[in-house]
Amino acid sequence: MQNIKNNNEQDPKERINNFNEVALGYTPEQAVSEAERCLGCRDASCIQGCPVEIDIPKFIAEVKKENFSKAYQILKEKNNLPAVCGRVCPQETQCEKFCILAKKGNPIAIGSLERFVADWAISHGALEKSEQKFKELERDSAEQSAASSPRFAGEAGPKETQYARRNTKKIAVIGSGPAGLTAAADLSRMGYQVTIFESLHAAGGVLRYGIPEFRLPKRIVDIEIGYIKKIGVNIEVNMVIGKVKTIDELRVDGFKAFFVATGAGLPYFLGIAGENLNGVYSANEFLTRVNLMNAYRFPDYDTPVNIGRKVAVIGAGNVALDSARVSRRLGADEVTIVYRRSEAEMPARLEEIRHAGEEGIKFELLTDPVEISGNESGWVRVMKCLRNRLGEPDSSGRRRPVAIPNSEFDFNCDLVIVAIGQGPNPLLLSTIPALKLNSRGNIEANSDGRTSVPDIFAGGDIVTGAATVIEAMGLGKRAARAIHKYLNNAKR
Ligand code: FAD
Ligand code: SF4
């Protein structure tokens, strides 16, 4: 039996005119039918592919029985953001790649099932029930500890599902993306007083300012963050740590440990002539204007965004594809992804590439821009490009692009969006000289998030460089355990 692909989608002709969600999710019947294909393997290989270690066969077994509420509880034991992950995780390279049925080319659609269960929970009030359970367990724990000798939660190694009595130790999490949110939620469940400091005016990191509404509705981000707040995490926005307050000042304020999860928000540029012309954006600025500042609703909102008739987006990762699809929705006549390698090396999720193709995005592959020229008013007019062929694989394992001599050609465009990657923002890091960085400026940390400074832990893109939501969450989870261990061993 073939897996049930999530074909409930908005028609491409309609969706290029709106920002509503493209993928609409399984119906209950489809979810149960897909769950019935799962073999419930004893040593389930799919779990190995999940950085937050969800018990995948267990939650799918509950979907089979139509016990969606129980399935949700199982998901939530390990994953603080299931409605987000069910939408944006590249499952084809993670859990689904490891599913035993993938060997026959037909893995269980784990991501679609995760999304179905999380959406079902949201629409059936299961989030409120989880919160209620948290409060009951917290109260029971407080009563128990009042009756017995004082005990710090989980000294023998707490399960994340065990809730602990509140204690007075304060932990600061810097950055509210998936890494910070995950670590904060897990630490709060362990009983700590956790504050997230976020530099922007709203929490969520890339989930809010990067990934567009049609892939990840802000309503979903708000609901998941709302739950994290309800279980006790305090979030302070407009707090640029390193500027408004330093780590040293936070130490004076009583914070005993820090989790730095400031992401990779500094855009890379091509370093070619003409990048300072009007009409050249970094993808970061372009998407932030649209997603965070609501530029797509200008003039109802204050922030405008320029949109050309012919848009060139440089790069082929998720960021590039999101920029291209946003441009299309904002009314560009022609949008082209310009990428230096071939389709096989494109880093974006397969679903995004398919969706972009359906929406009429063009692909100019094996092509490298070498210069951008403008008109007399300083606006982009044309991009000079070179053709490439593929050479030997480079350190990333992907075949290296090699320029073909004398292959120059002109590509006419009036907007260029550069989406070739992002690096760490040095603002906070420059205020902590003892923190060891690698040659790319990322924090050096071990797999548990330990850094060269004992009370500072780090995880997510600030450590790995630009990666994925679930990898950031996995690091947040491991760092939460390591912080707990550190605070219990520390003589303070
Ligand atoms: P971020 O999400 O970047 O969050 C860091 C937060 O820290 C930000 O809110 C930032 O404002 C804040 N911050 C920075 N400096 C400070 C400071 N000094 N003080 C206080 N706060 C600070 N991954 C996927 O798995 N699937 C996808 O489909 C996908 N699509 C993407 C699309 C786009 C447009 C982008 C940009 C990325 C995408 N990614 C995707 C990658 C994924 O979003 C990131 O890997 C992930 O968000 C990293 O999480 P993080 O918590 O490390 O950092
Ligand atoms: Fe089900 Fe595939 Fe995991 Fe086996 S490996 S339990 S079939 S999802």
| pLDDT interval class at 303 (50, 70, 90) | confident
476 with 459: CB under 8 angstroms? yes
What does pLDDT average to over the chain? 89
64: left (phi over 0), alpha (psi -120 to 50) or beta: alpha
User: Any idea what the Cα angle at residue 213 is, between residues 209 and 215, rounded to 5°?
Assistant: 105
307 with 415: CB under 8 angstroms? yes
**How many angstroms does the Cα of residue 124 sit away from the middle of ligand 1?**
29
326-339 pLDDT per residue, tens: 999 998 999 999 99
Contacts 24+ apart (CB under 8 A), 200-206: 200/237, 200/238, 200/292, 201/237, 201/238, 202/237, 202/292, 203/176, 203/235, 203/237, 204/176, 204/177, 205/175, 205/176, 205/177, 205/178, 205/180, 205/181, 205/263, 206/177, 206/178, 206/263, 206/469
**How many angstroms does the Cα of residue 47 sit away from the middle of ligand 2?**
8
| pLDDT interval class at 161 (50, 70, 90) | very low
- 37, 50, 100: residue to mutate for ligand 2 pocket, most atoms within 8 A of CB: 100
Q: 3-class SS at 363? A: strand
Among the bound ligands, the one closest to the CA of 355: 1
pLDDT, position 223:
94
* Residue closest by Cα to atom 1 of ligand 2: 38
Among the bound ligands, the one closest to the CA of 109: 2
> Mean pLDDT across the stretch 459-476?
95
pLDDT, position 160:
41
Q: Which residue has the tokens 């230096």?
A: 340
**Atom of ligand 1 at shortest range from CA of 204:** 9
**How many angstroms does the Cα of residue 32 sit away from the middle of ligand 2?**
15
Asked if the model's pLDDT at residue 110 lies above 50, the reply is: yes
Among the bound ligands, the one closest to the CA of 64: 2
- 56, 64, 112, 117: residue to mutate for ligand 2 pocket, most atoms within 8 A of CB: 56
**How many angstroms does the Cα of residue 390 sit away from the middle of ligand 1?**
31
- Name the pTM for this structure: 0.89
Q: Of 447, 10, 488, 428, which is closest to residue 256 (Cα–Cα)?
A: 488
**Atom of ligand 2 at shortest range from CA of 39:** 7
| pLDDT interval class at 139 (50, 70, 90) | low
* Residue closest by Cα to atom 23 of ligand 1: 468
User: Any idea what the Cα angle at residue 275 is, between residues 338 and 368, rounded to 5°?
Assistant: 30
- Say which residue, 244 or 152, is predicted with more confidence: 244
**Atom of ligand 1 at shortest range from CA of 319:** 34
**How many angstroms does the Cα of residue 89 sit away from the middle of ligand 2?**
17
**Atom of ligand 1 at shortest range from CA of 422:** 36
26-81 pLDDT per residue, tens: 999 999 999 999 999 999 999 999 999 999 999 999 999 999 999 999 999 999 99
**How many angstroms does the Cα of residue 461 sit away from the middle of ligand 1?**
7
Among the bound ligands, the one closest to the CA of 263: 1
**How many angstroms does the Cα of residue 95 sit away from the middle of ligand 2?**
9
For ligand 1, which residues put their CB under 6 angstroms from it?
A: 88-90, 174-180, 197-200, 205-206, 210-211, 239-242, 261-263, 265, 287, 318-319, 322, 349, 425, 427-428, 460-462, 466-470, 472
CA 77, 82, 88, 92 dihedral sign is: positive
Asked if the model's pLDDT at residue 154 lies above 60, the reply is: no
477 with 141: CB under 8 angstroms? no
Strands (E), 365-475: 367-374, 380-393, 399-403, 409-412, 415-418, 422-423, 456-458
Q: Of 216, 110, 232, which is closest to residue 173 (Cα–Cα)?
A: 232
Cα–Cα distance measured from residue 485 to residue 212, given in angstroms and rounded to the nearest whole number: 37
209-231 pLDDT per residue, tens: 999 999 999 999 999 999 999 99
57 with 74: CB under 8 angstroms? no
* Tokens encoding 359: 């929406």
**How many angstroms does the Cα of residue 209 sit away from the middle of ligand 1?**
8
Buried b (16+ CB within 10 A) or exposed e, 245-261: bebeebeeeebbbbbbb
189-198 pLDDT per residue, tens: 999 999 999 9
| pLDDT interval class at 342 (50, 70, 90) | very high
363-402 pLDDT per residue, tens: 999 999 999 999 999 999 999 999 999 999 888 888 899 9
pLDDT, position 138:
55
Largest CA distance in the chain: 82
For ligand 2, which residues put their CB under 6 angstroms from it?
A: 38-41, 44-46, 56-57, 60, 99-101, 108, 110
> Which backbone phi and psi does 116 adopt, to 5 degrees?
-55, -50
